[in-house]
Structure 1
Amino acid sequence: MRSIWNGAVSFGLISIPIKLVNATENHSVAFRQIHIEDGSRIRHRKVCEVEDREVTTAEIGRAYEDADGTMIPITDEDLASLPIPTARTIEIVAFVPAYRIDPLQMDAAYYLAANGVPAAKPYTLLREALRRSHKVAVAKFALRGRERLGMLRVVDDVIVMHGLLWPDEIRAPDGVAPEAGVTVRSKELDLADVLMETLGEVDLADLHDDYREAVEELVAAKASGGEAPSAPVADRTGRKVIDLMSALENSVRQARVARGEAGSADVGADADADVKPLRRTAARKRSEAASEPPPSRKKPARKTAAKTTAAGGAAKKTATKTVAKKAASEAKKSAPRRRASA
């Protein structure tokens, strides 16, 4: 692979000569602009506004346009003499856990290749240090006329550098999220969990670009004078989403059919047919139990009150009997005294 940049990785006082190699490639089908009437190429020519003539690449430089329209020429020598240490060096500034890097900052990826035999030892040292620490290196480097941020990590036995956007280049997601107040039911979340589990995982190596393949087939058909392939018209008759629950249940059923987990009867089911509720899982039952209000305590309270009332009545009866017994006892004692006095 051809290198696009030669320099060094600065790791403390250690300097590792490296070559920068593109880690990705674009497989998209390229188109040319043509004149519709005769099919001839449309070319973009670089013309000098003052002389009104086409100029070559050797005659073209760069300049900064000031606010008043003045062009300030900037040469390659001017940029090469800038007082920054990253002109030819990838300067590591910190080592952080990988989760500290926001994926929104990820940009192009590059392989770092050791440049020469003397670079093999320090290259391996940095690679193994990153691997053992489970961290990534944050670095600064200059490429294509600007200083950039980079993240170094280990992939197999190679150090990979991802270009990072500067934090102020990430736009805030203001006004993107749905308005507050939108809620989902626990049953809907349960069905979403079932759908996620049914779809399962995928090996990314098995995925491919269907659009590119279709474009290539189209180009091949036109080149051979054949009929261009047409996309099948999807039959969407009656496939209206009534509510989120039915859409989720239909999605789960279709995913199970795709994975071969459903019978042939389900494959030919009509889109308008009622979807039977899925059997509740233990997690779903727990979720429903947690979402239900606590049972009423009124009946036990009435029972307790009845018991208290009965106990109070019994106590009153016992107290009445006790008073009656005392009164009878006093009457017996006082009877002989009254007879003696008579």
Structure 2
Amino acid sequence: MLLVRSIWNGAISFGLVSIPIKLVNATENHSISFRQIHTEDGGRIRYRKFCELEDREVTGQEIGKGYEDSDGTIIPITDEDLAGLPIPTAKTIEIVAFVPEDRIDPLQMDAAYYLAAGGAPAAKPYTLLREALKRSKKVAITKYALRGRERLGMLRVVGDAIAMHGLLWPDEVRAPEGVAPDADVTVRDKELDLADALMDTLGEVDLEDLHDEYREAVEEVVAAKAAGEAPREAPAPEAGGGKVLDLMAALENSVRAARESRGEEPAEDAEVKHLQRSKTSRSSPKDTGGKKSTSTAKKKTASSPRKSTSKTSQAEKKSTTTKKTAAKKTPAKKTTSRKRSA
């Protein structure tokens, strides 16, 4: 923390208590940055700043701020003009209220900062404010000025430090009008049960285990091209990835895939049991005991003549053949007699 350069020095106004603090960034950006180049020869593309009146390039020390009026007139504004604004938040983080943390809409959250005590005299009041926030289980709503504008902030305790989240003004958050589906959709209880099962299966995650896979892939591409090698090809999309499933099937497959990825046993949830039972009851007539006994009887019947045939004599075969022939002729005679009587 001592190596982080402060971006703003001032004080927290806690009633009549003033706490000298230094504002430092609580986050850092690990994104890979690219330079613009000329695609034909790889030359760098640079933007140079020219003065319109003198038609020459100017340095950063020569550049200041100016406000353009409605008629196009530029009104110069200096840092001294902004530093002398007649508002208390120019160099002070003013605490205006204490509220429960759930009163803050996450949509209002902006940049995050740590507040470092500004020297030894600030240690006691800094600790007092930190412990008061802990015991009250509330957050402090503040107003402060930074980079040319007044902002809202929220103070909360993080470990042994006080952190400040920049907040957007309420009128800077858009209403979600026209975002939700216009169609009248009804969600069934079974669908909600499967969604709950999927949520339970996915469970919780330690955010420390998550990492930026996109950045790692870009780093691999850069390293490969720097070594004169071909970048690794992207994996082929899964077969049937574009196939449209009904919602219930998609939820069931999602629950199954989530459990398999975690190496868990099949679901034992009540709603999944219910679905499995209903599927079993539909398929049960195919596996009835009657069919099994019938097939067994057929097998026995088919096998018994072979055994008896091997043991019988030629005379028995002839008598059997004679009986069958007689049995075939008898129905024919009956049929003939019926036709005559008609």
* Alignment TM-score, normalising by the size of structure 1: 0.76
State the distance in 2 between where 1:36 and 1:249 align.
Answer: 49
Q: Which one-letter code corresponds to 2:244 in the other structure? A: V
Is residue 138 of structure 1 aligned with residue 132 of structure 2? no
State the distance in 1 between where 2:103 and 2:17 align.
Answer: 25
Is residue 19 of structure 1 aligned with residue 22 of structure 2? yes
Is residue 80 of structure 1 aligned with residue 76 of structure 2? no
Q: Which one-letter code corresponds to 2:184 in the other structure? A: G
Give the gaps of 5 or more residues in structure 2.
279-342
Match of 2:232 in 1: 229
Q: Which one-letter code corresponds to 1:163 in the other structure? A: G
Match of 1:177 in 2: 180
Superposition CA RMSD, Å: 1.6
Q: Where in structure 2 are the equivalents of 1:132-211 lying within 5 Å?
A: 132-211=135-214
* Structure-2 change in CA distance of 1:238 and 1:67 (3 Å): closer
Post-superposition CA distance 1:28-75 (Å, at most 9, x none): 001000011110110111011122111111111111111221111111
State the distance in 2 between where 1:12 and 1:28 align.
Answer: 41
Query: Shift in Å at residue 237 of structure 1?
Result: 2.9
Q: Where in structure 2 are the equivalents of 1:41-120 lying within 5 Å?
A: 41-120=44-123
State the distance in 1 between where 2:94 and 2:73 align.
Answer: 35
Q: Which one-letter code corresponds to 2:257 in the other structure? A: Q
Q: Which one-letter code corresponds to 1:204 in the other structure? A: L
Give the secondary-structure state (helix, strand or coil) at the position aligned to 2:102.
helix
Query: Shift in Å at residue 238 of structure 1?
Result: 6.9
Query: Shift in Å at residue 280 of structure 1?
Result: 2.5
* Structure-2 change in CA distance of 1:250 and 1:81 (3 Å): same
State the distance in 1 between where 2:81 and 2:120 align.
Answer: 33
Give the secondary-structure state (helix, strand or coil) at the position aligned to 2:197.
helix
Match of 1:3 in 2: 6
Match of 1:334 in 2: none
Give the secondary-structure state (helix, strand or coil) at the position aligned to 1:278.
helix
Is residue 279 of structure 1 aligned with residue 273 of structure 2? yes
State the distance in 2 between where 1:119 and 1:180 align.
Answer: 58
* Structure-2 change in CA distance of 1:31 and 1:239 (3 Å): closer
Give the secondary-structure state (helix, strand or coil) at the position aligned to 2:89.
coil
* Alignment TM-score, normalising by the size of structure 2: 0.76
Match of 2:304 in 1: none
Q: Number of residues paired by the alignment?
A: 269
Query: Shift in Å at residue 262 of structure 1?
Result: 4.1
Which protein is richer in helix relative to its size? 2
Match of 1:259 in 2: 262
